[in-house]
Amino acid sequence: MAIDRFILRKLEQCEEENIRRNLLNLFLIRIEQAWYKEEAHRTAV
């Protein structure tokens, strides 16, 4: 989860809108991946 903290820290510091948008999209992708992984684990149990 260190990458998540890194992304959040960069989001707080970044002032360029395009980079902020890309960081936010990356963070949302990571959230989706974690959700799908959790759902797959839940259905497997």
Global confidence as pTM: 0.79
Which amino acid is it at 1?
A: M
- The pLDDT of residue 11 is 94
Q: Is the pLDDT of residue 45 over 80?
A: no
How many Cβ atoms are within 10 Å of 26's Cβ, its own excluded?
A: 15
- The pLDDT of residue 27 is 96
Q: Which two tokens stand for residue 20?
A: 């902020």
Chain segment 3-44, per-residue pLDDT in tens: 999 999 999 999 999 999 999 999 999 999 999 999 999 888
